[in-house]
Structure 1
Amino acid sequence: MKKDLDDLKISGSSSLNGGEFGTVSISGSGKINGDVICNTMSISGSGKISGDVKTDTGKISGSCVIDGNLDCVDFKVTGSTTINRSVKGKEFKVSGSAKVNEISDSEYVKILGSMTCENSINTKNIDIYGSLKVNGDCNSDYVKSRGVFKIEGLLSADNIDIAVTGNNYVKEIGGQNISIKQGDGGMGILRVLLFKGYGRPKLTTEVIEGDNVDIEFTSCNIIRGKIVTIGKGCKVKRVEYTEELIINDDALVEEHEKY
């Protein structure tokens, strides 16, 4: 982006037109009409942008609504934000609350707070330490979860590493190496309060397909894989495997077949 640009700063209550800027900052209540291109965006107050946003770095510590697309290099949400169209960028991190339409192309997504995605997520890497709800698919190279999630579609990645710390749901799981293990209890008293009355944390899914599948505390209709290990706390209706199947004494598998 250009270096010598004017800044746009709103500290009171204003409605201004969009454009190209060095820094965009809102510490009061501001509305920007149209698209915004900037080097840096910082919103600690309340902001609404009626168009697209393209920025190198951005931080939302207040509240913000972006009606268009977000194209960013590094974007952090510590407050609350709504992005009504697509998110595209290198890094998108949420430690507050975010609602997005979709993440169309990203290198890294990290969720420490809560995020809802109305459609699908496409990213190279995603770390879930908070809560995630996806109404479509979640596609990645690597997925790591130490939080809770609900994914209405397919969770697809080369490597999937899930520690079950709450009640998780995903319609289908597909990958090369799939590990679903009991969480280490790192959430402490918060976990007890959140999931009191819901029984032991578990993951529920309809289908798991992978080369190497190693699971605990998972309920699944059908599992297909090469090497499959069914650990403690699992309830599985059917397993189809090609090389090896190991079933823990504490697991329930109704039927299995080697091909």
Structure 2
Amino acid sequence: MTMAIPANNGNMRLVGETTMNGGTFGRITIIGESKLNGATECESFSCTGNSEVDGDLTAGKLKVIGELEIAGDLKARSVSVTGETRVKGGAQGDLLNVRGGEFAVGADCEFEEIKVYGAIRAGGLLSADRMELRLFGGSLASEIGGGHILIKMSKKLAIKKLFSLHDFGTIKVGTIEGDTIELEHTAADVVRGNRVTIGPGCEIGRVEYRGELKVSAKAKVGSQARVE
């Protein structure tokens, strides 16, 4: 994704409990609890602690360790989350990497590549050319679309599930559509793809496939049809 972020702007470093106005910056570093009022643009945004952006956030690189809430939209080439990030609007960029924790978006979430080892929640479309979701925690999306879509339960949760009746690692989706689709522990109304694998723990209303379909004996599929 190409973004026009002016270069050589002043850097901002916030430590402790702070409230500042948004604007255009080079690097923003936050340690503690801070709030930025208004739309904010920067080359890099690093948050360790709890932060809030009361407006849109546009960043070349976003790194969150802790909690971040964005009142508007998020645009970033690279997003790395360890903790919890909530975006009330939509989110888009090149790479989304959730390494433990949750990434929640109120509208569409569109990246070139999405890697999630945790939970993801999208009020609209969740889309990526390559998507790898290894879920730990309840996830959901209105729709999922992409080229290669892989959804599995994380290994850590798979071990925990042996001792629990709770279904923490399931994602609930309306429609999933892609080229190559590999699913486990997924509840979806409709799945459409070329090469489709429905693995253990899935509950799918209808599957439509063009090339190949594999269905596990531990999955539930209401109906299936090969389409041209």
Task: Give TM-score scaled by structure 1 length.
Answer: 0.79
Counterpart pick for 2:192 among 214, 218, 224 = 224
Deviation at 1:172, TM superposition (A): 0.7
2:29 maps to 59
1:44 maps to 15
Quick one: structure 1 residues 110 and 187, their matched pair in 2 at CA, closer, same or farther if it must change by over 3 Å?
A: farther
1:23 maps to none
State the Cα deviation string for residues 226-248 of structure 1 (Å, max 9, x = none). Answer: 11000011010100111111001
Letter aligned with residue 123 of structure 2: E
Letter aligned with residue 48 of structure 1: T
Runs (4+) off by over 4 Å:
none
- Contact 2:74–2:87 (CA under 8 A) maintained in structure 1: no
Give the 5 Å matches for 1:16-27: none
1:147 maps to 118
- Contact 2:170–2:185 (CA under 8 A) maintained in structure 1: yes
CA distance in 2, matches of 1:114, 1:187: 22
Quick one: structure 1 residues 102 and 187, their matched pair in 2 at CA, closer, same or farther if it must change by over 3 Å?
A: farther
Quick one: structure 1 residues 231 and 149, their matched pair in 2 at CA, closer, same or farther if it must change by over 3 Å?
A: same
State the Cα deviation string for residues 75-113 of structure 1 (Å, max 9, x = none). Answer: 111011111111112101111111002344311011101
- Contact 2:175–2:189 (CA under 8 A) maintained in structure 1: yes
- Contact 2:73–2:88 (CA under 8 A) maintained in structure 1: no
2:143 maps to 172
CA distance in 1, matches of 2:7, 2:113: 34
| 3-state SS in 1 of match to 2:133 | strand
2:78 maps to 108
Deviation at 1:2, TM superposition (A): 9.3
CA distance in 2, matches of 1:60, 1:197: 40
2:201 maps to 233
1:182 maps to 153
Quick one: structure 1 residues 202 and 73, their matched pair in 2 at CA, closer, same or farther if it must change by over 3 Å?
A: same
- Contact 1:102–1:121 (CA under 8 A) maintained in structure 2: no
Counterpart pick for 2:41 among 65, 71, 79 = 71
CA distance in 2, matches of 1:102, 1:157: 21
Letter aligned with residue 26 of structure 2: D
Quick one: structure 1 residues 186 and 219, their matched pair in 2 at CA, closer, same or farther if it must change by over 3 Å?
A: closer
CA distance in 2, matches of 1:60, 1:187: 35
Quick one: structure 1 residues 61 and 228, their matched pair in 2 at CA, closer, same or farther if it must change by over 3 Å?
A: same
Higher relative contact order (CA 8 A, sep 6+): 2
Task: Give TM-score scaled by structure 2 length.
Answer: 0.90
Letter aligned with residue 71 of structure 2: N
* Structural RMSD (CA): 2.2
1:161 maps to 132
User: What count of residue pairs does the alignment treat as equivalent?
Assistant: 220
Deviation at 1:127, TM superposition (A): 0.7
| 3-state SS in 2 of match to 1:140 | strand
CA distance in 2, matches of 1:220, 1:246: 16
Counterpart pick for 1:135 among 98, 101, 106 = 106
Quick one: structure 1 residues 56 and 217, their matched pair in 2 at CA, closer, same or farther if it must change by over 3 Å?
A: same
CA distance in 2, matches of 1:122, 1:68: 19
Identity among equivalent positions (%) equals 26
Quick one: structure 1 residues 139 and 102, their matched pair in 2 at CA, closer, same or farther if it must change by over 3 Å?
A: farther
CA distance in 2, matches of 1:132, 1:187: 21
Structure 2 unaligned segments of length 5 or more: list them: 1-5
